[in-house]
Chain A
Amino acid sequence: MAEDVSPFSHYPPRSDMSSRASRRFKEEAIRYVLLATATLSIVTTIGILLSLTGETLFFFREVSLVEFLTETEWTPLFAIKKFGIWPLVTATALVAFIALAVAIPTGLLIAIYLSEFASPRVRDVIKPVLEVLAGVPTVVYGYFALTLVTPILQEFIPGMRIFNALSAGIVMGIMIIPMVASLSEDAIGAVPQALREGAYGLGATRFEVALQVVVPAALSGIVASAVLALSRAVGETMIVSIAAGQNPTFTLDPRVPIETMTAYIVQVSLGDTPFASLEYRTIFAVGTMLFFLTFAMNIFAHWFVRRFREEYD
């Protein structure tokens, strides 16, 4: 009686063996389909490695690795082609350095302030601001650097050109602040409360607890956040493409146009470079370098946290 109102009625009947077997088959099939999709992430990594290194090997058949690493001129798009990576590397390092000089002190101060000093109400104001900053597209930051920050810098600094490393670096720093702040805050939040209470019990002030107890205890996480920020700055593309210029110059002068590794890839991609030409392969050589640089930094950051984490349990 009332078979069809049973809450189990939508499950298949279990009585005969064949349906049980087919049910089991279905379960197994689903498991393998899910496993296959999970493996896609590994396929992606392999795809990145193969597509980068393949073209890079072709590149190094025509250009010697020695020239690539010792020349200080990068002119693959000119009549006289020179393939010294250094102008791109110094430009990338210069912009990243400026960005970190902005982002690390600011981000770290925000993290310490938010977790050790701020009231919940202040937190509720600051956190969304950081989230919004993190969500602004990089092309918008590029517009900001070129049309707003550069003219201001030109007022103060003589010899400041329209395209320069300083403006791009400062704006990139502002973009990275939320990342440093949130990663450092996570590290600081992981410091056990008992440590703070112990310090307060000994008569320490808030400042002393924060700077002499909490920050040292969270140092491994803070260092990791700085390294991840560096990796992000090195891989950032649109701000430098828009505001730092497209002139591969071997210089550390933050006032003149330069070209970072990422900006070079964009410059070539915007042109009509035929597949399999040497110009086409240069972007893969540069991309390979970029990938392994950022990969090494990401791995180092994760290793560093694990290696130097203070254990309190």
Chain B
Amino acid sequence: MAEDTGTLGRSAPVFKASMQWRRLKSHFFVVLGLLSVLPGIVALLVLLVDVIVQGSGWLDWQFFTSFDSRFPERAGIKAALFGTLYMMVFTMLLAVPIGVMTAIYLEEYAGDNWFTQFIQVNIANLAGVPSIVYGLLGLQVFVRMMEMGRSVLAGSCTMALLILPIIIVASREAIRAVPPSMREASFALGASKWETVRHHVLPYALPGMLTGAILAAARAIGETAPLITIGALTFVPFLPEHPLDRFTVLPIQIFNWVSRAQSEFHHLAAAGIIVLLVVLIILNSVAIYLRQRLRTRY
């Protein structure tokens, strides 16, 4: 029996040679694994260095305080900065309460039935819808049907729907991390469901929810396509003063400059990218800080 038992059946030198080769493959794979990280790291470094080299010379006070212009040396991001700020304020005012309330419902109230399942599957699917499709939704529903026009408010509503799944998922995780003993103690003292949620679950889940909200905001700030679709402007020589005014945002301003042929505008785009990335780095750092604090608390 057992004519061929693989390496066991072979003589020692043959086994040794094949073993060496087998070990070598492991080492080879480690090198391959490290190499596969390289494109990402190289791309990131090259991008950062290039943006700084191309753009930092254009980052002066005038760049922050001027509107866009046909003359690159006079162009700035004032309208884009304020547009992004206004849009984000409304977006977060809409998305955070709705997202948190949905998360509370799903975690604390919902029964284990088909309707709950349906909502969950639906949220998972919404997270996978391309952002430009949200733009078409916003164009049809907010801009046309609700007659908001191509305004800050229409942009905020669209963006709020886009980041809602992110906020819901993060808030649910934060609520789930609150130990059940907290709720039981509260119920034992005669508190009602809402009193328990309001006074015990929410305070504990708050840092986690905040982290999720900040990451969602970071996503929304960098998002371009849905706002182009609803018709945010690419050339805005004024500040929006009313939620129904037209507007532009930082990524669209960058897109506008990248799309121009003259290389001066590419420098402006690089300068805009530096500003955008700095904002995102600050937001992510705050999120990481909050996450760390949360971790040490439990």
Contact = CB atoms under 8 A, between A and B. Distances in A.
B131 A237 contact: yes
A207 B22 contact: yes
A37 to B, nearest CB: 4
Interface residues of B, number: 87
A210 B29 contact: yes
Nearest to A130: B40
Given A51-B141, A133-B44, A207 B126 contact: no
A49 to B, nearest CB: 9
A15 to B, nearest CB: 13
A290 B104 contact: no
Contact of B129 (A11, A30, A48, A138): A48
Interface residues of A, number: 87
Contacts of B192: 23, 27
A44 B161 contact: yes
Contact of B193 (A27, A47, A130): A27
Contacts of A81: none
Contact of A113 (B29, B144, B234): B29
A103 to B, nearest CB: 10
B289 to A, nearest CB: 14
A78 interface: no
Nearest to A109: B36
Contacts of A106: 36, 39-40
Contact of B34 (A45, A113, A142): A113
B132 A38 contact: no
Interface stretch (B59-67, B201-209, B223-231): B223-231
A113 B36 contact: yes
Contact of B33 (A30, A113, A265): A113
B140 A38 contact: no
Interface stretch (A63-71, A186-194, A227-235): A227-235
Interface string B256-277: 0011000000100110010011
B166 to A, nearest CB: 12
A236 interface: yes
Given A132-B44, A269-B228, A287-B132, A109 B32 contact: yes
B43 interface: yes
A191 B125 CA distance: 25
A97 interface: no
Given A130-B40, A262-B130, A113 B164 contact: no
Given A117-B33, A146-B258, A291-B130, A129 B44 contact: yes
Is the contact region of chain B dominated by helix, strand, or loop, or is it mixed? Answer: helix
A80 B120 CA distance: 47
A266 B223 contact: no
Contacts of A269: 135, 139, 228-231
Interface in B125-174: 125-126, 128-137, 139-141, 144, 161, 164-165, 168
Interface string B2-19: 000000000000000000
Interface in A243-299: 262, 265-266, 269-270, 275, 283-284, 287, 290-291, 294-295, 298-299
Given A34-B109, A129-B44, A269-B228, A110 B137 contact: no
A266 B106 contact: no
Contact of B132 (A44, A142, A266): A266
A14 B30 CA distance: 67
Nearest to A209: B26
Interface in A83-117: 102, 105-106, 109-110, 112-114, 117
23 contacts: A8-B189, A27-B194, A33-B101, A34-B104, A41-B122, A41-B126, A47-B141, A106-B36, A113-B29, A113-B34, A129-B44, A135-B280, A137-B221, A143-B254, A177-B39, A207-B28, A235-B129, A235-B131, A266-B225, A266-B228, A290-B130, A291-B130, A302-B124
Interface of B: 22-23, 25-26, 28-30, 32-34, 36-37, 39-41, 43-44, 46-47, 50-51, 54, 97-98, 101-102, 104-106, 109-110, 118-119, 122-126, 128-137, 139-141, 144, 161, 164-165, 168, 189-195, 218, 221-225, 228-231, 234, 251, 254-255, 258-259, 266, 269-270, 273, 276-277, 280, 284
Given A48-B136, A148-B47, A287-B133, 18 more contacts: A8-B189, A14-B190, A35-B105, A38-B101, A38-B102, A38-B105, A39-B119, A45-B125, A55-B140, A102-B39, A114-B33, A136-B47, A143-B269, A144-B43, A236-B130, A241-B225, A283-B136, A298-B125
The 10 residue pairs across chains A and B that have the minimum distance between CB atoms: A113-B33, A235-B130, A137-B222, A51-B140, A237-B225, A34-B105, A109-B36, A298-B128, A207-B26, A37-B101
